[in-house]
Amino acid sequence: MEDVTLVGMTEDMDLNAILYGFVGLAEMTFPGRIQAYYMLGSHVTNEALVGASDIDLVMVFRERFQEGERERFDFFRRYVNMLSQAPLDVSVEEEARLLVDGAGNLKASSLLLMGEDIRERIPLMAKDKWLRYCMHRPFLFMERSRAHADDEPLPYPLRYPDATGALYGYDHRMHREADGSLHRSTKDIINTACWFAMSVLMLRAGEYAFSKSSVIDAYQKHVNDEWAPLLKQVYECRNRWGYRSPSAPEDEAYLRGLCERMLEAENYFLGLYKDFLLAELGRGELPDRVLAAQRLGLILYPGDEILNALRALAETAEEPLRQEARESIARLEKHGAPVHQTES
């Protein structure tokens, strides 16, 4: 194995040391298999918060994954994060898939760390695919912030993560900073607001955005609806207090007001998400339709529109969509959706 030489460097020597260590470990784990390493996110766009922002890294494997590589990567990602003094958000891509499907952030806003730069050969992800990628993201943060059993769908409309909390539970996540200290964090609510903006920006205006600040500005310009002021105010909390929950009473009262309004915004988005998922059941590639069926089983919408759509798939769709529809039906019926009565 040759010594690691980074092409992309930052002005932060501590960050550079983390990058050297990460790439070195990856090269030992997957010798000769990584086409390129890229860094994305706030450390590239100069929006990083000192000691608070994740380091977003992408490993691009040559051609396609070989047998067992994806599983090995999952172990690698878990253990390498334990060694880093800063939180790492590591993802993986296949070169062949990128050249066909395109990319968003990696194409438009990334830093090559090491390897052969293939960004010029990667197309910008088509708008329908970018919309699909963005629309699925906000739900992940909404789900993570609310306690529920593994197989229990979230009831719609949503309730606060913790109605008795000072910030209604939106500060549930603990964030470890570079000095090792733990603080209640607003990171999830800020990420939810930014992904909300990114999704609706593409849905309503057909516009791309690839960073937190650019999406908030683009939303104000191209959408500018009733949610625009709230999304901007939530994002600006990041600049005021980093990802920490503020301690001053007046600051906490201000943030509490934003959290109170955020619930309505989340429910507005989930209404859009419902229509999007129903449409997805009949369009796109099979994995896209399977994902839509799976997500519809994770949200307990009132009425029988969702169940009727899933039941139709359970009878007529190809596998594995048929099986995913059946599993979603079973999950929804278990947790309160009206059970289908078959004729005797």
At 37, give phi and psi (nearest 5°): -115, 135
| pLDDT tens string 55-70 | 899 999 999 999 999 9
Using CA atoms, how far residue 21 sits from 17, 38, 82, in Å, is 6, 14, 13
Residue 15 in tokens: 């960050």
Residue 93 lies in a domain: yes
Rounded CA-CA distance 85/178 in Å is 6
**Domain CATH code at residue 108:** 3.30.460.10
- 311-335 average pLDDT score: 96
Domain boundary among 104, 124, 144: 124
Question: Looking at this protein, which amino acid is placed at residue 201?
Answer: L
Residue 171, in any domain of the structure: yes
Q: What is the rounded distance in angstroms from the CA atom of residue 312 to the CA atom of residue 301?
A: 17
Q: Is the pLDDT of residue 51 over 60?
A: no
Mean pLDDT, the chain, integer: 92
Give helix 127-135 / helix 249-280 axis angle, nearest 10°: 130
Q: What is the pLDDT of residue 49?
A: 62
- Which token pair is 35? 């086409």
Single residue among 99, 124, 149 that ends a domain in this structure:
124
Cβ-count burial of 62 within 10 angstroms (0-12 exposed, 13-18 middle, 19+ buried)?
Answer: middle
The model carries a pTM of 0.90
Reported as a single tens digit per residue, the pLDDT across 225-254 is 999 999 999 999 998 998 888 989 999 999
149 lies in the same domain as 59: no
Q: What is the pLDDT of residues 120-155, one digit of tens each?
A: 999 999 999 999 999 999 999 999 999 888 889 999
Same domain flag for 185 and 260: yes
Interval 169-220: pLDDT, tens: 999 888 766 667 788 889 999 999 999 999 999 999 999 999 888 999 999 9
pLDDT of residue 3: 75
Kindly state whether residue 298 falls inside one of the protein's structural domains: no
Res. 52: pLDDT tops 50 = yes
Q: How many domains does the chain have?
A: 2
What CA–CA distance (Å, rounded) separates 183 from 177? 8
Q: Is pLDDT at 343 greater than 50 in this prediction?
A: no
Q: If you write DSSP's letter for every residue of 275-325 in order, what string do you get?
A: HHHHHHTTSS-HHHHHHHHHHHTSEE-SSSHHHHHHHHHHHHPPTTHHHHH
Where among 81, 109, 124 does a domain terminate? Answer: 124
The model's pLDDT over 77-120, given as tens digits with 9 standing for 90+, comes to 999 988 877 788 999 999 999 999 999 999 998 999 999 999 99
- For 18, 26, 94, 224, the CA distances from 77, given in Å and listed in that order, are 14, 9, 16, 39
Whether residue 305 is predicted with pLDDT greater than 80 in this model: the reply is yes
| pLDDT score recorded for residue 321 | 97
CB hemisphere CA count around 228 (13 angstroms): 12
What average pLDDT does range 319-329 have in this prediction? 97
145 and 80 part of one domain? no
Does 26 lie in the same domain as 92? yes
Q: What pLDDT does 2 receive? A: 65
Q: Which domain holds residue 29?
A: 13-124
Q: Say whether both 266 and 161 belong to one domain.
A: yes
pLDDT at 1: 59
Over pLDDT 90: what percentage of the chain?
76
Q: Do 275 and 138 sit in the same domain of this protein?
A: yes
The reply to whether 148 and 230 lie within a common domain is: yes
Residue 344 has pLDDT above 50, yes or no: no
Same domain, 259 and 238: yes
pLDDT score of 341 more than 70: no
Q: Are residues 197 and 255 in the same domain?
A: yes
Whether 146 and 274 map to the same domain: the answer is yes
In angstroms, the CA 325 to CA 211 distance is 35
Residue 337 within any structural domain of the chain: no
Q: Alpha-carbon distance 279 to 276, whole Å?
A: 5
